Structure 1
Amino acid sequence: MADLPVYPPMLATSGSLPPAAEDDRWAYETKLDGQRCLGYLPGDGTVLLRARSGADITGAYPELRALRTALGTRSAVLDGEVVALDERGHSDFERLQSRMGLADHPADAARMRDRVPARLLLFDVLLLSGRPLIDRPYTERRRVLEGLELNGPHWSTPAALVGHGETALTATRAEGLEGLVCKRLDSVYTPGERSRHWVKIRHVHTLDVIVGGWVPGRGRLTGLPGALLVGVREGGVLRYVGAVGTGFGDRDRAVLGELLRVSAIDACPFTPQPEVVGARWVLPRLIGEVRYATLTRAGLLRHPSWHRLRPDLAED
Structure 2
Amino acid sequence: MTLPLIAPMLATPGTLPPASQDARWAYETKQDGQRVVVYLAGDGSVVLRARSGEVITGAYPELHALGEALGTTPAVLDGEVLALDARGRADFQLLQSRMGLAHAPARAARKAVEQPVHLVLFDLLHLAGRSLLPLSYERRRAELEGLGLQGPFWSTPAALVGHGAEALAATREHGLEGLVRKRLDSVYEPGVRSRAWIKIRNMHGVDVIVGGWLPGKGRLTGLPGAVLVGQRDASGVLRYVGGVGTGWSAQERAHLASLLAELATPACPFTPDPRVAGARWVLPRLVGEVRYSTRTRAGMLRQPSWLRLRQDLTPEESAADLPDAAS
Determine if the alignment matches structure 1 residue 196 to structure 2 residue 195.
yes
Matched residue type, 1:180 = L
**Aligned equivalents of 2:71, 2:134: Cα separation in 1:** 25
Say if 2:174 is the partner of 1:170.
no
Q: 1:241 to 1:201 in 2, by over 3 A?
A: farther
> C-alpha root-mean-square deviation of aligned residues, in Å?
3.2
Q: Secondary structure at the match of 1:291?
A: coil
Cα distance change on mapping 1:22 and 1:107 into 2, 3 Å:
same
C-alpha separation in 2, matches of 1:37 and 1:227:
38
Q: Pick from 252, 276, 292 the counterpart of residue 304 of structure 2.
A: 292
Q: Which residue of 2 aligns with 1:66?
A: 65
Structure 1: how far apart are the matches of 2:5 and 2:215? 33
Question: Which runs of 5 or more structure 1 residues have no equivalent in the other structure?
Answer: 207-225, 248-273, 282-288, 298-302, 306-316
The question of whether the paired residues in 2 share the 8 Å contact of 1:205 and 1:291 is answered with no
8 Å Cα contact 1:36/1:80 also seen in 2: yes
Choose which of 212, 217, 242 in structure 1 pairs with 2:226.
242
Alignment of 1:10-25 (within 5 A): 10-25=9-24
CA-to-aligned-CA distance 1:176-225 (integer Å, 9 cap, x gap): 0010110000010001101111010111279xxxxxxxxxxxxxxxxxxx
Deviation at 1:56, TM superposition (A): 0.8
Aligned residue in 2 for 1:41: 40
CA distance in 2, matches of 1:102, 1:41: 21
Distance 2:203 2:100 in 1: 26
Change (3 A) 1:190 1:205: farther
Give, as a single letter, the amino acid of the residue that structure 1 aligns with 2:306: T
Relative distance call for 1:133 and 1:199 in structure 2 (3 A) is same
Query: Within 5 A, what are the aligned runs for 1:71-150?
Result: 71-150=70-149
C-alpha separation in 2, matches of 1:176 and 1:7 = 32
The structure-2 alpha-carbon separation of the partners of 1:88 and 1:135, relative to structure 1 and needing over 3 Å to count, comes to: same
Question: 2:183 and 2:23 mapped to 1: Cα distance?
Answer: 9
- Displacement of 1:280 in angstroms is 4.8
**Mapped contact 1:230–1:244 kept (Cα < 8 A):** no
Flag the 1:67–1:183 CA change in 2: closer, same or farther, 3 A.
Answer: same
Task: Call closer, same or farther: CA 1:229–1:193 in 2, change over 3 Å.
Answer: farther
Q: Does the 8 Å CA contact 2:178/2:199 hold for their aligned counterparts?
A: yes
TM-score (norm 1): 0.70
Q: Report the Cα offset of residue 290 of structure 1.
A: 3.7
Shift of 1:63: 0.3
TM-score by length of 2: 0.68
**Deviation at 1:240?**
6.5
**Corresponding position of 2:293:** none
CA contact (8 A) 1:205 1:292 kept: no
Q: Deviation digits for residues 126-164 of structure 1, max 9, x if unmatched?
A: 000010001100000000000000001110001110010
**Match in the other structure for 1:32:** 31
Question: Does the 8 Å contact 1:61/1:109 carry over to 2?
Answer: yes
Summarize the Cα distance change of 1:294–1:227 in structure 2 as closer, same or farther, 3 Å threshold.
closer
Change (3 A) 1:6 1:295: farther
Q: State the percentage of identical aligned residues.
A: 58
Residues 205 and 293 in structure 1, CA contact (< 8 A), matched pair in contact too: no
Moved over 2 A (4+): 226-232, 243-247, 274-281, 293-297
Whichever residue aligns with residue 163 of structure 1, its letter is G
Quick one: which amino acid aligns to residue 42 of structure 1?
A
The C-alpha deviation readout for 1:260-287, integer Å capped at 9, x for no partner, is: xxxxxxxxxxxxxx99999857xxxxxx
Q: Displacement of 1:112 after TM fit?
A: 0.5
How far is 1:42 from its partner? Answer: 1.1
Judging changes above 3 Å, is the alpha-carbon distance between structure 1 residues 230 and 155 closer, same or farther for their aligned structure 2 residues? Answer: farther
SS state at 1:197 partner: strand
Q: Do 2:213 and 2:225's aligned partners in 1 also have CA atoms closer than 8 Å?
A: no
Distance 1:78 1:227, change over 3 A: farther
Shift of 1:58: 0.3
Looking at structure 2, the residues matched to 59 and 22 of structure 1 have their Cα atoms a distance apart, in angstroms, of 43
